[in-house]
A and B are shown apart, each in its own frame.
Chain A
Amino acid sequence: MYEKTILIKDTDTKREDLTRQAYTQILDFLRHNDQHSRIQVVRVADIGLYDKGLVIKILPEQITYANVKEDDLKRIADAISFNKGRVEDLVYKPKSKQERLVLKNCGRIDPESIDDYIACGGYLGLKQAIELKEDKVIEEIKTSGIRGRGGAGYPTWMKWNFAREVASDQKFVICNADEGDPGAYMDRSILEGDPHAVLEGLIIAAFAVGASKGYFYVRAEYPLAVERINKAIKQAYDCGLLGQNILGSSFGLDLEIRLGAGAFVCGEETALISSIEGKRGTPHPRPPYPSVKGLWGKPTVINNVETLANIPQILLKGGAWFAKIGTATSKGTKVFAVTGKVKNSGLVEIAMGATLREIVMDICGGTLTGKPIKAVQTGGPSGGVIPEHLLDTPVDYENLQKLGSIMGSGGMIVMDDDDCMVDIPKFYLGFCVEESCGKCSPCRIGGFQMLGYLKKITEGAGNINDIAQLKRISYAMQKASLCGLGQTASNPVLSTLKYFEKEYIEHIENKHCPAGKCSHLVTYSVIEEKCKRCGLCFTNCPVSAITGDKEKGYSVIQEKCIKCGKCFEVCKFRAINKK
Chain B
Amino acid sequence: MADLKALYQEVILDHSKNPRNFHSLPDADRTAVGRNPLCGDQFTVYLRMDGDTIVDIGFEGQGCAISKSSASMMTQAVKGKTGVEAEGLFDRFHELVTGKPAEPEALGKLAVFSGVSEFPIRVKCASLAWHTLKAALEAKGAISME
Partners in one complex: no
Name A's B-contacting residues (CB within 8 A): none
Name B's A-contacting residues (CB within 8 A): none
